[in-house]
Structure 1
């Protein structure tokens, strides 16, 4: 691995030669020399320096992007070579959209820990769009999402189905057997943020049923949405994975709406490549057999 690239990445990310030197356990003059040598080799200036800060320029941004990719490829190569002679082990960076990450992934991780204790998982949870972007930039190794995410670099495989219902507070008066679109349109809807797979499904439901809600309130977590529904703030569309406890305690109820439950798929997404680590492969196998 080219030490110049490693040093350059540290300087760019820490925006300071002294902090980069400290992180790398090097002297500041040594860090400066590595950067100077890299700039001479590429015949272009990469950083704008002052006494107070270090700012990457346009050429530096290009080098930084490729340097990060080179370092990640090198680390991945070491893992694959180690896999040839060792059992599944090492760090596995997993991404998950909120519903899966909060309500399904813990069960999978428990099995992973039991069966492959030498694998060290780290988890990033976000909406589907954020998680897909992390995968493209290789900040994570594999992801589980509930929405649709398409990119030429990404391989997608469905692993489970999910039923979604429109829910309301258990205190919500209900005097009709089947709820009309007009009834739904007249209510406040509590919805997820843009980029969420749950938000995507709700918008499709609105469009299909020609519903324009009277009011929308956007909240960034499923737990907050459930609390809002329970308090009578509004109604929402959520996976039945997320409100089983509230349903049993009679805090939330499903509304009898034609076309529900809405069924969607949970998917595994990963970067398209020739080799995958053993840790990734065994995790994927556990996910596919989650039932």
Structure 2
């Protein structure tokens, strides 16, 4: 790994020589020279040019995956060396909102009990943002519910969770079995575009030939507790993971809507870069998380 590999990775992300040069504070000819050097070194074309647009070749894609992993491992290795004298281990990971708020607190407690010197930094964001941070080496691993290309990463299923429609206990929808058509007459309260929960809902509705636009009206809320409060106050319905509304259902302020032929289960995935030097360490965290969830009888 040298500075030319960094140029290559930046060009992959930006997709434009001029913008890459500006981003790296070097000249465009310098960017071209770096890429030409790598193509000569690896004896293959890394990019093809078509109408002023560039596209990675198969070899370029392979090199990009390798460099992403090496770059991320380099950052973690440097951090580990600097902390070695402190006998501490820092782990930086990301989680989507549903997981970060309703699944991870107890798991973090379990991790700290097993290793009191562990320093944990958890970043909560949507799936796409977390994947970008993982690719940049800013996170060691992520736990997500949203869609991603599993071929691009090393991933393991942490748990499977029920995705359910919910309403207030005072709603007419709280009793009996309803159809999707019936519930579209209600106000839909949903997460913002880009969130894993929103993407999953839109894909589920699509399979039933519906969209969010079929509902009477919609409200977008980024805060999960706010969504649950509005639903509990009978101001609309929503779709959330059962684990997110477990307490409210037990307390009798929110109820699952029974929809005929509607049984949706989705994966919570543990994800890190392929072929990482730290795979064994990351898998140790996964195994602790997996074992804890099993003991909670949630799988």
- Calculate the TM-score normalised by the size of structure 2: 0.69
Work out the CA distance in 2 between the residues paired with 1:116 and 1:69: 26
Change (3 A) 1:268 1:222: same
**Residue number in structure 2 paired with 1:266:** 268
Task: Give the secondary structure class of the aligned counterpart of 2:172.
Answer: coil
**Residue number in structure 2 paired with 1:17:** none
Work out the CA distance in 2 between the residues paired with 1:281 and 1:216: 40
What's the C-alpha RMSD, in Å, of the aligned pairs?
A: 3.6
**Residue number in structure 2 paired with 1:42:** none
Unaligned runs of 5+ in 2: 4-20, 35-67, 295-299
Are 1:226 and 2:228 an aligned pair? yes
**Residue number in structure 1 paired with 2:297:** none
The count of aligned residue pairs is 240
Work out the CA distance in 1 between the residues paired with 2:180 and 2:89: 52
**Residue number in structure 1 paired with 2:104:** 105
Q: Say which one has the larger Rg.
A: 1
**Residue number in structure 1 paired with 2:245:** 243
**Residue number in structure 1 paired with 2:166:** 167
Change (3 A) 1:251 1:115: same
Task: Give the secondary structure class of the aligned counterpart of 1:289.
Answer: helix
Quote the offset at 1:233 in angstroms.
1.8
Change (3 A) 1:234 1:78: same
State whether residues 98 and 244 of structure 2, in contact with CA within 8 Å, keep that contact through their aligned partners in structure 1: yes
State whether residues 80 and 276 of structure 1, in contact with CA within 8 Å, keep that contact through their aligned partners in structure 2: no
**Residue number in structure 2 paired with 1:37:** none
Alignment of 1:34-49 (within 5 A): none
Unaligned runs of 5+ in 1: 5-45, 49-54
- Calculate the TM-score normalised by the size of structure 1: 0.70
Alignment of 1:136-175 (within 5 A): 136-150=135-149, 153-174=152-173
Task: Give the secondary structure class of the aligned counterpart of 2:261.
Answer: coil
Quote the offset at 1:149 in angstroms.
1.3
State whether residues 128 and 148 of structure 1, in contact with CA within 8 Å, keep that contact through their aligned partners in structure 2: yes
